Every structure is written in C-alpha cells, then in structure tokens.
C-alpha cells in the first residue's frame, strides 16, 4: 500500500511539472517597463505576463552596449539578481533602482524556474535636452574693448518622468565651447557674463532662454568663432549648430591731441594730431569739414580773422572713427615788432664798459629780446642772459671785439636789429673830429641841425654855447686825453 502511494505521488508531481513546462511553452511570456527611459536613481517598474502560475522568476539587468570588461566600472550592487513569484495568473510586477550610467542602453531579463523567458530593453536617461538655437545675430562686429551679447534658447524632452508620473527636476549650466580664432588670445582672456548663470529646477517638455555677454578688453583684434553649450548636471549636453562669430577690430589710437594756438593776422597757424592705426584724417571747424584738410596736420599759411574758431580731427581706419579733442585758433590783433632805434657802433679803450641799446615798438603783445655775438665764421652765437633792450659788456677786451645784434620777438613775429661793432682801441690810437659843424642860420622860432663826425664810433658828445654862438667840443676828458692809456 505504501509503495503504491509513493508511486502515485511521483506520478502526480511529474504530471504537474510536465503541465507547467507545457504551460510556459504554450503561452508566450512578456516583460515590459513602465517607461522607455529613466533618469539615474529613479525607480523602474517591470511587468511580467504569461509565466506559469506561482512560478519563481529570477530577474537581472545587463548593459546592451557595454563591453564585457567594462562591468567593473559600475556598482555591482546595482546588478544583483532578484526573484519574484508569479501570481495564479502567471503575472508579476517588480521594481529596480536605475543605475548611474547616463546614456546607456540596458535590458532586464526574466528567467522562470519552468523555462519561462522574457526581456525588455530601456535606456538610462540618454538625453534630457532636445535642441539649442541662437535667437540673436550669429555674428557681431565690435571695437576692441567693447562687448557683444549672444542670446539663445533650448528645449527639454519628455523623458524625465519619475515613477509616480511627475516630472523630474534638473539643473542646466551654460558654457562656451569650441573657441577658435585668428587673434592672439584664448577664451580665458574674454570676460564672460552668463544670464542666468545656471538654469535650476528644469522640467521636461519646456523651453528656456538665456544670453552670454563677451567683454573684449583683454583680447587681441581678430575673428573668433565658438559654440554655446548647455549641459545637464555635468552629463548630457548640446551645442548650438550655428557658429557664433565675433569680429574684433582695433580702433585708431590718438597719442597726441591737437593743441590750441594764438596767432596774428598774416602768420601761419598749424594744428596737428599723432595717431597710430589710422588710415585717413578729416579736420573740422565747428563740426564742419575743412575742404582738403585730410592729413594729420592742418596748416593755415596766412591766418585771418575768419580763421578763428574751434577745430577737431576725425581719425578713421577700417574698424571705426574717433574724434580728437577740440583745439582753438585765436587770432590776435597785436602787431609785429618794429625797430625804432638801432644799436650803434662803439669804440672804447681796453677794460671799459660797453653798452649797446635798441628801441622797438609793437601793440597788443609784449616784446622779448635776445642778443647775439657774431662769430668769426659769421654766425650768430646766443649770449646767455642777454634778454633786455640793452646789452652791457663790462671790462671789454680784444676778445669782445666783433659785431652784435638783437632779435626782438612777440606773438606776431620777430625782427632783427642792425649789427653794431665793438672796437677796442690800442694804446696809441687817437680819435679826432673829421667833419666840423658848419655854420647855420634859421629864422626865429625855426629849427636847425648841427652835426659833427669823428674817426671813431662809441664817443659821447656835449654841445656848448660860446660867445653867442654854439660850438661843439668834447667832454672834458677828451680834451685832456687824446689817446688810450
């Protein structure tokens, strides 16, 4: 009897096994996921159908696009197999915490104890960002030191959804990438201001806008290209398809501004500017172009009253134009100096004091004087400190014997006096009257002139009246001494 029961039990077990095996063979098994793509750390839900009732099912996850020797780079605890028991209908539901392996394609595999098999393929948040486009101009031409603002927008896609169906929030950071150019400086020399600095709490199926302003104070002139990149949490990112282009040119630089001048009628007036990087100039008077004034200097050969005014110059190159500071031409009413009394020749004994003098006049401008001593070669040598209307030479000697003249100046110009000679008399050199005054007559109330000539210059005279007549004689010392000592 016992033997018969044992055989019956074995037979029934075999029938059950064969029945379950046939069940798994006859009915197709499926394994599906609640989403096609998951963000790292989220919960994936798998649904199994078609398994044998109450069948034990073992599940595990593999990387479809991972090489065999890459598995060591992942956390092994994320891939530990786990088991579930199918219900009486052969269905089950189970979950798995998604690994931190952005962009990978994965497969979940279910193996039942009665030979059931199913799998499902899904991805690990391969892409949250769908597109980025420029909303501003793609190219800017700016002056070195200026700035340019590029605007953009980007969109997110509808894959970042949590297990409860709500949107996943994530951050996006903008940056500059693929910097290239003909200038001498790299992206680190460019001032970059992102607005916003980062996008926080972004969600799926949304559009966001931003801008970046580039400041070029520290970058050389040239043409630069780059892309704007937005990136999610240091993982997936996208860049603008259209290149951003920045053309930076160097403006001309003025190193010496024009200086105001005051001049007299008839004199030449000149204004000038010093600039580097310039290709053309245009002088203006009161903001109106001066015809033909297209060099770095403006010359008015004969200044007239109508030339008075404010002048500037527009300095241009292929990049831009800059305007100098204003300079004023003032036309004075002063007159040029005129010599009214020339210096005269002087002859003195060795060791005497010599005085040359000049008289000049002008209006509206003070006069200045500078005396010169004529050298042996005929050139004038400036006498230091001799800047008055008179030139005094103390203790005259043979080395002082030459010609002397003075240049008189004012705002309107200069005038040279005649040259006057200094002669040093020797010990036996005499001086005498070479032309006596002639008798003259005049009506009462009228005027007459008496004159005398001597063989030497530089003498002084004293006229005296004698016995009802005028006669001329030398000063007392001339009468008592007719030779130099």
Q: Which of 335, 331, 293, 334 is nearest to 315 (CA)?
A: 293
Which of 249, 282, 309 terminates a domain? The answer is 249
485 within a domain of the structure (yes/no) = no
Note the pLDDT tens digit of each residue in 92-121.
Answer: 999 998 887 766 788 999 999 999 999 999
The three-point CA angle 263-265-271 to 5° equals: 40
Q: Is residue 369 within 8 Å of 358, Cβ to Cβ?
A: yes
Say yes or no: 66 and 109 in one domain: yes
List residues bridging with 83 in a β-sheet: 58
pLDDT at residue 227, rounded to an integer: 94
Say yes or no: 220 and 289 in one domain: no
In terms of residue numbers, what domain contains 135? 129-249
Say yes or no: 8 and 96 in one domain: yes
The counts of H helices and E strands in the chain are 2, 41
Which of 233, 249, 265 terminates a domain? The answer is 249
Which of 249, 266, 294 terminates a domain? The answer is 249
pLDDT at residue 334, rounded to an integer: 93
Q: Whole-angstrom Cα distance, residue 93 to residue 85? A: 9
Q: Phi/psi at 400 (nearest 5 deg)?
A: -90, -5
- Indicate the pTM of the whole model: 0.51
pLDDT at residue 430, rounded to an integer: 60
Say yes or no: 36 and 69 in one domain: yes
Say yes or no: 473 and 363 in one domain: no
Q: What is the CATH number of the domain that holds 289?
A: 2.60.40.10
31, 35, 41, 47 alpha-carbon torsion, rounded to 10°: -30
Q: What is the CATH number of the domain that holds 134?
A: 2.60.40.2310
Q: Is the peptide bond between 196 and the residue preceding it cis, with omega within 30 degrees of 0? A: yes
pLDDT at residue 165, rounded to an integer: 54
pLDDT at residue 35, rounded to an integer: 82
Q: Where are the beta strands (DSSP E) in 267-386?
A: 269-272, 274-276, 280-285, 288-289, 297-300, 309-316, 321-323, 327-332, 338-341, 346-349, 354-357, 359-361, 368-374, 380-382
Query: How many domains would you assign to the chain?
Result: 5
pLDDT at residue 75, rounded to an integer: 54
Say yes or no: 370 and 400 in one domain: yes
Q: What is the CATH number of the domain that holds 9?
A: 2.60.40.230
Say yes or no: 239 and 271 in one domain: no
Half-sphere exposure of 443 (CA within 13 A, CB side): 1
Provide the 10 A C-beta neighbour count for residue 223.
15
pLDDT at residue 377, rounded to an integer: 92
Query: Which residues of the chain fall below pLDDT 70?
Result: 1-26, 65-78, 102-103, 125-127, 158-167, 182-185, 233-236, 427-432, 455-461, 466-485
Say yes or no: 114 and 9 in one domain: yes
């Amino acid at each position: 009897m016992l033997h018969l029961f044992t055989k019956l039990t074995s037979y029934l077990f075999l029938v059950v096994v064969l029945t379950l095996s046939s069940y798994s063979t006859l009915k197709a098994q499926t394994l599906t996921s609640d989403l096609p793509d998951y963000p790292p750390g989220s919960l994936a839900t798998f649904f199994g159908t078609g398994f044998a009732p109450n069948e034990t099912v073992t599940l595990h996850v593999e990387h479809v696009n991972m090489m065999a020797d890459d598995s060591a780079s992942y956390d092994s605890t994320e891939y530990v197999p786990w088991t579930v028991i199918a219900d009486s209908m052969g269905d089950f539901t189970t979950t798995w915490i998604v690994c931190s392996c952005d962009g990978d394609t994965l497969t979940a595999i279910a193996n039942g104890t009665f030979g059931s098999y199913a799998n499902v393929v899904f991805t690990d948040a391969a892409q949250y960002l769908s597109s980025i486009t420029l909303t501003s101009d793609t190219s800017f031409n700016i002056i070195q030191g200026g700035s340019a603002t590029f605007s953009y927008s980007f969109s997110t896609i509808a894959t970042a959804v949590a297990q409860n169906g709500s949107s996943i929030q994530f951050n996006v950071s903008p940056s500059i990438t693929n910097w290239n150019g003909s200038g001498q400086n790299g992206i680190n020399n460019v001032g970059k201001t992102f607005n916003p600095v980062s996008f926080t709490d972004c969600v799926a199926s949304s559009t966001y806008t931003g801008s970046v302003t580039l400041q070029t104070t520290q970058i050389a002139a040239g043409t630069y290209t780059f892309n704007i990149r937005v990136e999610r949490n240091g993982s997936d990112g996208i860049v603008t398809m259209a290149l951003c282009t920045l053309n930076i040119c160097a403006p001309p630089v003025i190193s010496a501004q024009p200086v105001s001048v005051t001049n007299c009628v008839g004199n030449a007036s000149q204004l000038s500017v010093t600039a580097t990087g310039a290709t053309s100039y245009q002088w203006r008077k009161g903001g109106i172009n001066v015809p033909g004034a297209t060099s770095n200097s403006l010359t008015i050969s004969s200044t007239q009253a109508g030339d008075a005014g404010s002048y500037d110059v527009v300095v241009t190159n292929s990049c831009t134009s800059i305007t100098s500071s204003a300079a004023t031409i003032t036309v004075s009413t002063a007159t040029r100096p005129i010599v009214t009394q020339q210096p005269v020749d002087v002859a003195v004994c060795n060791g005497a004091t010599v005085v040359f003098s000049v008289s000049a006049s002008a209006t509206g401008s003070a006069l200045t004087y500078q005396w010169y001593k004529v050298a042996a070669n005929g050139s004038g040598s400036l006498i230091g400190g001799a800047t008055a209307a008179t030139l005094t030479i103390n203790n005259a000697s043979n080395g002082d014997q030459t010609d002397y003249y003075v240049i008189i100046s004012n705002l309107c110009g200069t005038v040279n006096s005649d040259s006057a000679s200094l002669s040093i008399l020797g010990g036996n050199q005499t001086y005498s009257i070479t032309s006596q005054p002639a008798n003259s007559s005049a009506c009462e109330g009228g005027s007459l002139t008496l004159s005398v000539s001597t063989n030497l210059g530089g003498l002084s005279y004293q006229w005296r009246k004698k016995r009802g007549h005028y006669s001329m004689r030398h000063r007392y010392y001339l009468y008592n001494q007719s030779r130099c000592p």
